[in-house]
Amino acid sequence: MKKVISVFLAVVMVFSVFAVTAAAATNAKVKYPIIFIAGSSVDLFDAEGNEISTGIEVLTDDDEGDGMGMDKIVETTVNILKPFVMEGLLQDKWDNYGKVLYDEFAPIWDEGQLDGDGNTKYGIGVSASEISHWDNVAATVDHGKDGTFGYGDYKFRYDWRLSPYDHVDRLHEFIKTILNTTKCEKVCLIGRCIGGNVINAYLDTYGSEGLVAKVMFDEVMSNGSATVNDCYSGKIKFSDKHLQAFLLESEYFGKENIGLGALGLSDIMYDLIKVTTDLAVQTGVVDGTTASIEALYDRLGTAFLPAVLRATGLGTWPGYWASVYAEDVDDAIDFVFGEEGTETREENAGLIEKIEYIRDHMAIPRSLEGDENLYKIFANKYGVEIGILAGYGLVQAPLTESHDETGDCTVGVGDASFGATAAGAFDTLPEDYIAERVALGYGKYISPDKKIDASTCLFPETTWFVKNKHHDTLNGYKVVENFCRYENYTVDNNPQNASQFLITTSIHGSGNFVNMTEENCADGYWITDVVQKPDKATKLQALISFLRVVIKIISELFGDFISSLETA
């Protein structure tokens, strides 16, 4: 009997030892070099090494010293466009309006545009010294000597305007160089914003070689962006309520830092459209009714938005086209470049070919179901562990059809999380929906504020959400870094006990967040303080507010991408 008991105890002890060992090793550190791939925060330079400006930055720079200030640009542009505005109003003919608008604006942003083949102009790109520096770091510095790699050890720099596929060969060599330097077998990739598009293109091209162990998508647009998609495809819809929230949250986060940024383009476009409105009212072309004004704006938007997208360069950047939804790419191409056979379409044939390649190899596969989904291929066929960080709690662009989607002010949470089900910005998930999900065993995936259901994500076990996080802040980056540093790092199993739903404790902090509870999950005041109905005294005042936001969206939506903070 004693022998039986001793054998039994020995067996128990052995299993106990293995159990303890397994538990201790569950989150053991892994030694994978971490490569950070930023979005559009990397500066661009011309062939002589002079920094250039893109997008709205052009309007606030005076590099030429010619005194061509904002007022002068506005005055000149308005005077040039006046007769074409009248032509549009009186004859309902807007083609000339858009053409002249493009001809006037295009020279201002000439350096930031890509050519008709989707290539850079004038030798402009990321500084050669910047690329050389990080190539040298990759070839000579082993940051993992202490057994741990960090978020900013290795940075891959690239011209974010170009097609993501234009960078994959150089990224492949960069990875192999680092592996040779560190004597590691695989790397981790962290992508922020459109940096995730580069990761998609790389894994689509080289994923089968097995050099990537983990990928962390940090508030990326690589699964699409409703804001970009709607602007590129002309899906414009105004919401006064969301406009109020957009302005409140921008004031909270700081207009001069990460909120509404520079207003140069806003002033120009606002003046242009205000002049149009004044002319319409003065001439009696419209009678002031809501229907007539909305019809007028529809015509104006169709005329000027494609022209502005191409003139500012935004419409020529495949790096952003990669975030257009597969089902809308063709319509967006028609909207920005015109239909088949038009002059603009022919002039941009090479660029459109690159956009269509992205559609076929990235946009369509990521929208497929099951094992055919692009990310499932990365995970199942290439053995890549995928983690995701998504922000929410802020309203998106109040002038797009997707304005009610909550997100980080740049990327909607549904896109950034690869499929979370989310309530509208001012709402919570319906009680019957929550009850149904709880009954199915998915209750743990419902956020404490009842706004997010994480169970519908592609990777629910490795997707984190940070409430009230602006796109350009680093709140939550420790989750991003630690996902790469530890094995088996999930929402239910991580050394930091970081729950799936987090909430920020500092608007500008780097990593300042706590686990979300029912007690601390309140909405920001930009949601709770918004008047839930239009409060404009007259229809004309409502129109002016409406038109003002047109400007802010054109400049700020993409301006925030372009001038976003360096995140490493």
Percent of the chain with pLDDT over 90: 51
Residue listed under structure tokens 């830092």: 257
Residue 403 lies in a domain: yes
Residue at 356 is within a domain: yes
Instruction: Tell me how far CA of residue 568 lies from CA of 247, 423, 457, in angstroms.
Output: 27, 31, 27
HSE-CB at 189 with a 13 A cutoff on CA atoms is: 30
530 within some domain: yes
What is the per-residue pLDDT for 24? 37
What pLDDT band is residue 297 in, cutting at 50, 70 and 90? low
Residue at 396: amino acid letter = Q
Angle 511-448-403 (CA atoms, 0-180°, nearest 5)?
80
For residue 476, is it left (φ>0), alpha (ψ between -120 and 50) or beta?
Answer: left
pLDDT beyond 80 at 148: yes
Tell me: the pLDDT tens digits for 497-510?
A: 999 999 988 766 55
Residue 551 has pLDDT above 90, yes or no: no
| Rounded Cα gap, residues 34 and 260, in angstroms | 32
pLDDT at position 71 is: 56
How many domains does one find in the chain? 1
For residues 103 and 68, the model is more confident at 103
Split at pLDDT 50, 70, 90, the class of 295 is: low
Q: What is the mean pLDDT of the chain?
A: 79
With cut-offs at 50, 70 and 90, classify the pLDDT of residue 288: very low
Quick check: is 14 in a domain?
A: no
Q: Which of 102-106, 116-120, 142-146, 512-516 has the lowest mean pLDDT?
A: 102-106
Q: Tell me how far apart the alpha carbons of residues 85 and 552 are, in angstroms, rounded to a whole number.
A: 21
Q: How far is CA 55 from the centre of its chain?
A: 16
Task: Judge contact between 394 and 545, C-beta under 8 A.
Answer: no
Number of helices (H), then strands (E), in the chain: 23, 12
Structure token digits, residue 109: 């942003």
Would you say residue 23 lies in a domain? Answer: no
3-state secondary structure of 200: helix
- Average pLDDT on 432-460 reads 97
pLDDT number for residue 299:
65
Rounded Cα distance, 389 and 61, in Å: 35
566 DSSP assignment: P
Q: Is 176 exposed, middle or buried (0-12, 13-18, 19+ CB in 10 A)?
A: middle
Q: Is the pLDDT of residue 282 over 70?
A: no
Q: Is residue 390 one of the residues assigned to a domain?
A: yes
Structure tokens at 354: 């690159």
Residue 392 in contact with residue 408, Cβ under 8 Å? yes
pLDDT over 80 at 386, yes or no: yes
Whether residue 169 contacts residue 129, with contact meaning beta carbons closer than 8 Å, is answered with no
12 domain residue, yes or no? no
More confident residue, 260 or 71: 71
Q: How far apart are CA 447 and CA 391, in angstroms?
A: 13
Q: How far apart are CA 152 and CA 146, in angstroms?
A: 15
- CB within 8 Å of 101: residues ≥ 6 apart: 81, 84, 303, 304, 307, 308, 311
pTM for this entry: 0.83
Backbone angles phi, psi at 450, to 5 degrees: 60, 35
User: Tell me: the pLDDT tens digits for 192-202?
Assistant: 999 999 999 99
SS3 94: coil
CA torsion angle 511 517 520 524 (round to 10):
70
What are φ and ψ of residue 360, in 5° steps? -75, -35
pLDDT tens-digit map of 89-98: 666 676 777 7
Confidence of residue 268 (pLDDT cuts 50, 70, 90): very low
Q: Which residue has the higher pLDDT, 354 or 267?
A: 354
- Confidence category of residue 66, pLDDT binned at 50, 70, 90: very low
Asked if 225 and 72 touch (Cβ cutoff 8 Å), the reply is no
Structural domain includes residue 394: yes
What are the backbone angles phi and psi of residue 432, rounded to the nearest 5°?
-70, -35
Q: Which domain holds residue 224?
A: 29-568
**549, pLDDT greater than 50:** no
- Residue 85's pLDDT band (boundaries 50, 70, 90)? low
Average confidence (pLDDT) over 373-379: 97
